[in-house]
């Protein structure tokens, strides 16, 4: 294999300044406890999707258009986790507008821009998660349950179309990565009656890799530097350096000890914080 760290990708200076100014303003407003997050979400999404109707009277619009405008306001929509009995309504009310903004941003033209999208989600994550370390990097179409039960370390990467069900809590350690279409759960249902629900915390240790289309079930603890292979379903803990494969996942390989790995130079992530 070849050593292929990420490369720098240049964007026009004027575009970069515009992105940074918009994100700094957003972060400042979210840091102000007096700001109405529902109204902030509504105004941003209206500008993204229907700027021509920003000041329109809904009574003068076609009915379907008026209904579409209602979806820009998180007060007018419900999300699946709101129906869970164990939700904390007060905590969720603070993060729901940001979760809806995250989801709808990803469905806009801006959300497909990797440079802007990663930075935008990083701003939101710092105001949603219980803890968010430096250089958090999420690509498009990552979804959460409550959001406020996420604890994320430094240099964590979450790729496209990942579900992080933090209903019971998810802890992700420093340098961990979760690949495309993976699912991480922290709730499970009784065989006898699905209304009986357990919500154990799921832990993904430092440097763990959860690879393509894999699933990690509720309460599983993946020890540091372990790995869950593509399409595998982790139903039990892994030990450090274990590589778990299959359904259910079993340890089939081990990563080499640190001293036996290639001595590559440190490289910078071009999408890290400045």
Residue 147, pLDDT score: 98
What's the N-to-C CA distance of the chain in angstroms? 30
Residues 139, 114: contact at Cβ < 8 Å?
A: yes
Question: What are the sequence ranges of the domains in the chain?
Answer: 15-255
For 122, the 3-state DSSP assignment is helix
- Report the 10 Å Cβ neighbour count for 252: 12
pLDDT number for residue 25: 98
What 3-state class would DSSP assign to 163? strand
pLDDT at 58: 87
pLDDT at 113: 97
Asked: is 15-255 a CATH 2.160.10.10 domain? The reply is: yes
Element (H, E) at 221: strand 221-222
98, containing H or E segment: helix 89-106
Residue-wise pLDDT tens for the chain (274 aa)?
899 999 999 999 999 999 999 999 999 999 999 999 999 999 999 999 999 999 999 889 999 999 999 999 999 999 999 999 999 999 999 999 999 999 999 999 999 999 999 999 999 999 999 999 999 999 999 999 999 999 999 999 999 999 999 999 999 999 999 999 999 999 999 999 999 999 999 999 999 999 999 999 999 999 999 999 999 999 999 999 999 999 999 999 999 999 999 999 999 999 998 7
Question: Would you state the pLDDT for residue 90?
Answer: 97
Q: Are 168 and 148 in contact (CB under 8 A)?
A: no
Residue with structure tokens 């407003």? 29
38-61 burial string, b = 16+ CB within 10 Å, else e?
bebbbebbbebbbeebeeeeeeee
- pTM higher than 0.75: yes
| Residue 252 backbone phi and psi in degrees, to 5 | -115, -20
């Amino acid at each position: 294999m070849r050593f292929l760290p990420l490369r720098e990708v240049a964007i026009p200076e004027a575009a970069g300044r515009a992105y940074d100014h918009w994100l700094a303003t957003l972060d400042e407003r979210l840091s102000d406890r007096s700001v109405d997050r529902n109204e902030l979400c509504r105004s941003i999404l209206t500008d993204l999707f229907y700027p021509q109707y920003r000041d329109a009277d809904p009574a003068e619009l076609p009915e379907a258009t008026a209904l579409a405008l209602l979806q820009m306001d998180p007060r007018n929509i419900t999300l699946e986790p709101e129906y869970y009995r164990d939700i904390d309504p007060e905590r969720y009310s603070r993060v729901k507008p940001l979760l809806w903004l995250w989801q709808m941003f990803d469905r806009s033209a801006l959300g497909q821009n990797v440079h802007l999208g990663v930075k935008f989600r990083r701003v939101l994550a710092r105001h949603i998660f219980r803890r968010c370390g430096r250089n958090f990097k999420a690509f498009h179409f990552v979804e959460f349950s409550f959001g406020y039960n996420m604890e994320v370390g430094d240099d964590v990467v979450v790729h496209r179309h990942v579900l992080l069900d933090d209903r019971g809590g998810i802890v992700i350690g420093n340098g961990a990565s979760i690949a495309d279409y993976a699912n991480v759960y922290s709730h499970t249902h009784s065989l006898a009656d699905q209304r009986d629900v357990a919500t154990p915390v799921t832990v993904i240790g430092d440097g763990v890799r959860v690879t393509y289309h894999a699933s990690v079930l509720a309460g599983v603890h993946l020890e540091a530097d372990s790995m869950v292979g593509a399409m595998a379903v982790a139903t039990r803990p892994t030990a450090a350096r274990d590589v778990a494969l299959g359904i259910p996942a079993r340890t089939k390989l081990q990563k080499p000890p640190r001293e036996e790995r290639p001595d590559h130079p440190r490289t910078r992530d071009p999408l890290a914080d400045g």
